[in-house]
Chains A and B, each alone.
Chain A
């Protein structure tokens, strides 16, 4: 289901092709398979329209306890769990994005609607298992990528040197798999957003493209 130039999907090809982010050379060698893909598109944090909220409700109905328990058996959620272990995170303490949503589903009795952008990200994560996050495009400088933090860099707090971060060409904009905490997170004034997928070993390209396509499709619908 590649959106690349596929007019049959009804998506503008120029907008639908995700860009490849950069990954620092030492990370490419040390953590093969780590990659970042992102797509910049019009997005607002207004209330989700009825059909998006209905889609979340449908997903809630399809996603019960059994699915949550069996997430770890599925290839993509398992790949993220393994990667979390590899970088010193415990996925049982800091859940992977799809497991975080599964926990929220169990806790609240359904996927909670927040705003159109967050709902688009949530729908794409639930359906694909791929880790997605959004940044306010107006607050970014240049291409996005993954690197380790340098001494003296900080988000809301100083970062320990060597922390894995998502960064633009000037500064870190969030810890890898942490919330954006540099002022780059979308807010009520956001007009365009960069939807970024963190790919790890075991997550196929097509799943990443599909995740971004689902999110962009929800935002354009």
Chain B
């Protein structure tokens, strides 16, 4: 697993082990190439994990996915590949943490919504959106009084569910006078 390798490199000082003495130039070049190849393999695995998380995180917005370019397009050396790999690993960790944090908030919101549906009078004026519970639609749930001020005075509360997203107007409508 890439994480285990990442941990190992992190503990060892973020660099592959040094070359033993007595190696020829060809041996060193070959060893360097193997290190680069291994780093590329790790980058591929991390990219796959990041892609999976990206899809799983949808429709949550505002999560940072960018890692930053490494001055390419060019052939990266060991140090550059390490930077890319470390940046990907760091981004993966921060994105996982953010998705988990939002997941906890969404779970709390789902519980709040259930309670609100059972007893709207105890959650007066509360508004919960689909985004608050991690869903992709535009629906909202709002605890509102029946018959306006009368319901407010009488304690007649209900949960009103919105009808969804606004209708798309399209480019033609937007450009219309």
CB within 8 Å of B: which residues of A? 26-27, 29-31, 69-70, 72-73, 78, 81-82, 84-90, 92-94, 109, 148, 160, 162-164, 175-178
Contacts and interface: CB of A to CB of B under 8 A. Distances in A.
B51 to A, nearest CB: 3
17 contacts: A72-B55, A82-B43, A82-B44, A85-B43, A85-B47, A87-B74, A87-B75, A87-B76, A88-B69, A88-B73, A89-B72, A90-B67, A92-B66, A148-B74, A162-B75, A176-B73, A177-B73
A177 B73 CA distance: 8
B148 interface: no
**Most chain A C-beta atoms within 10 Å of own C-beta, residue among B51, B71, B80:** B51
B48 interface: yes
Contacts of B54: 69, 72
Interface residues of B, number: 30
B67 A31 contact: no
Given A69-B58, A87-B73, 4 more contacts: A82-B40, A85-B47, A85-B88, A90-B67
Contacts of B47: 78, 81-82, 85
Contacts of A84: 72
A162 B74 CA distance: 6
A93 B91 CA distance: 14
A46 B55 CA distance: 38
Shortest Cβ-Cβ A-B pairs, 5 listed? A88-B72, A88-B70, A72-B51, A164-B73, A90-B69
Interface in B49-66: 51-52, 54-55, 58, 65-66
Contacts of A85: 43-44, 47, 67, 84, 88
Contact of A175 (B65, B70, B73): B73
A31 B66 CA distance: 24
Contacts of B74: 87-88, 148, 160, 162-164
B8 interface: no
B36 interface: yes
Contacts of A90: 66-70
B171 interface: yes
Contacts of B33: 29-30
A86 B76 contact: yes
